Amino acid sequence: MHKDLDGPIKRFSIAARVETIDMLIRADEITYDEDTGDVEAVGHVHFEHFLRGEKIDCDRAEYNMNDETGNFYVVSGSAQSQITARPGLLTTQTPFFFQAKWAERLKDHYILHDGFLTDCLIPNPWWRLKGPVFDILPGDHAIARNSWFYIRKMPLFYAPWFYKSLKKEPRKSGFLIPNFGNSSAHGKMFGSGYYWAINRSFDLTYRGLYYSQAGLANYLDFRGKINQKTDFDVNVFGVLATQENPSSESGYRILMHAKSDLGNGWEARGVLDYLSSLAFLQDFTQSFTEAVTSETHSVAYVTKHWSDYGVDFVAQRDVSFQSTAPGQTIETRKLPSAEFTGREHEVDFNGWPFWVSFTASAGFLDRSQPDYQTRQFVDRIDFAPHVTTAFRWHDIQLIPTFGIRETQYSESFNNVGQVTGANLLRSSRDVTLDLILPSFERIFDAPDWIGKKVKHVIEPRITYKYVNGINNFDQVLRFDENDLISNTNQVEFSLTNRLLAKDKNGIVTDFLTWQLRYDRYFDPTFGGAVQPCQTTTSITAAFVPSCRNIVASELDLGGFAFLDTPRSYSPIVSVFRVQSRVGFEWRTDYDPAHGGIVNSTVNVDGRIRKYFWVLGHTEAHTDPVLLPPANQLHVMVGYGNPRSKGWNYGFQMFYDYRQSKVLFWDAQGTYNTDCCGFSVQYRRFSIGTRDDSQIQVSFAVSNIGTFGTLKRQDSIF
């Protein structure tokens, strides 16, 4: 390096450099004034700030080392981007690259003139934000004015003002990127919205989506954190059909989640799910699951748990839509209910251990449906203590449990099925004997794909249950599962096979499980609760003997109803499960009375490298009055994941064999580059009266966000 001395002015050439603790300037030639701190660099200038991670290359630079200001000419450089890791957001470790004819450094920020910004690899970036002026405040924000967003060389959209937060937790009010789409049922759609960062604790997002054949759909999301212990999130979705489009269904849905730590062990939580009509949801929802779900559940509770006890104050509303017709709903409410629970607490009695537990509740309930309605406040008081002990002889264990249950209702059904104000007391006594027999086990050498060793374990179990005293089952109002308890005298046989796999690191996993369960009923009518099938026109048949008999013992065994008449035995319930790189589960009900499998549910899922798949099949063909028959297939296959570079694609379908038609299917293709991604999804609904096809698109920019009509929750990936 050659240096010319001329008082305070120093001239450096031949690989000249000026370096401090914070920065470095390197160039072919540098002139440095020690008195003023001015630096002029010419030829292959490289500027680097170590603390901020900024790197700039230019033809010429004028910089003041004291106040850190200056100008750079014919600039290219980079600055570390803020990586915001959120589900569904494409991210990259690549810094932001920029080029400009010249740039100003003004204390804490840069101003770029006539240039572009990207976080793609140079020299051929996939996207660029190009404009006359960029204002960049490292660690805070970047603003572009009158800029164009380019994909390769094609301008995609114009932004008169574009803001990108560089903070760790970015929040800034502003208009959302508009989106476009098409629906065969509702026509062309165009949408935009506004995000309002009200303050540090609250924000509100509104998006309007206009359908040319349906009107305006409104989406509102209001979030807030009242303090460190309390927060909430409210979502509102509604459509008001216009007079020009009377075929569309008006309606709305409100979904809210809230929680609060009240201190001293008390906690409050709540979920509100209010739907104006099922027809509206099926007409406009973008989710197949929502389209076929005909129930809403809302609950709010205040709870505290300590030691072996817990207390809950609950308000609850459950609605079951029987059809899309107005008024065809079954609604139950708790307004409110106080519940007190005592978990099993050990009590020593002359050296013999006993465990005491109980549940108790008192509250106001009501139920309304098309053919009857209770009064608004039906009080129900319930108390159920239980005592458990245990006996052991060698490897045989006997666990008996004794309990009573007293339930008081202020309303009931009379003998002709009418709701009356007559009080009703339901009393029951129950005994459960759980006999755990010795397990049989043996250890084998395992194939490499399972593990090092495999242990085969056979676990037999016998459970006897006796409930007596409920002679008024047909008079009890139905609010929840507590009202389905009936007399019973039964024994359950259970046999479980397990294969426990141990790998070379000594980690044991439950590789395979096969459980068989079978109930033998010594009281075929369950104390008169189950009656032979008779014809009835009642929707609920709560008091008239019918084919649909629902009691607690039936629900405890499995998810399918089978008591179409008094019977002495249950179906044989089989659950076969494999947990490995490929998961497999098969649940079946084999009913000897029908001579075959009456219900079957199969699910297979797995992922190997980038390939994934899901296969599910459900078939139910019991008595149609007992359970609506079903035979449906769900298939999902795909390759990749939301962040994999290159092509990622997936397909899923729901097919109904009984109707011989596809209820829903969608196919999606996603291409991710090093800095952005493109997704296109085609979907088709064929549910009820809805026959709708849609094309959804989205464009994702790494570390910035996703724009378009394809939302993360609707994506296959």
Residue corresponding to tokens 């009642």? 538
Structure confidence by residue, pLDDT tens digits, 7-32: 778 888 877 888 888 889 999 999 98
Residues 541 and 371: their CA atoms lie apart, in Å, by 10
Residue 300's pLDDT is 96
- Name the residue among 681, 678, 717, 679 with its Cα closest to residue 696: 681
CATH class of the region 2-169: mainly beta
CA–CA distance, 428 with 471 (Å, rounded to integer) = 9
Where is pLDDT greater, at 531 or 663?
663
Average pLDDT over residues 154-173: 73
Mean pLDDT across 425-429: 96
pLDDT in tens, 467-483: 999 999 999 999 999 99
Which amino acid is located at 690 in the chain?
R
With tokens 């809950």, the residue in question is 312
Q: Is the omega angle on the peptide bond into residue 123 within 30 degrees of 0, that is, cis?
A: yes
Radius of gyration of the chain (CA): 34
Does the pLDDT value for residue 86 go beyond 70?
A: no
pLDDT digits (tens, 9 = 90+) for 132-142: 999 887 667 77
Percent of the chain having pLDDT more than 90?
49
- Non-local CB neighbours of 512 within 8 Å, separated by 6+ positions: 497, 498, 499, 577, 578, 579
pLDDT at 162 over 90: no
**What's the residue count for the chain?**
717
How many helices (H) and strands (E) in the chain?
Answer: 3, 44
pLDDT confidence of residue 625: 54
In the predicted structure, residue 357 carries a pLDDT above the cut 60: yes
CB of 390 within 8 A of CB of 346?
A: no
Q: How far apart are CA 29 and CA 23, in angstroms?
A: 17
- In the DSSP assignment, the letter for residue 121 is P
pLDDT in tens, 207-240: 888 888 888 889 999 999 999 999 999 999 998 8
User: What is the bridge-based pairing of β-strands 508-521 and 419-420?
Assistant: unpaired
Alpha helices in 164-277 (DSSP H): none
Mean predicted confidence (pLDDT) in 559-565: 82
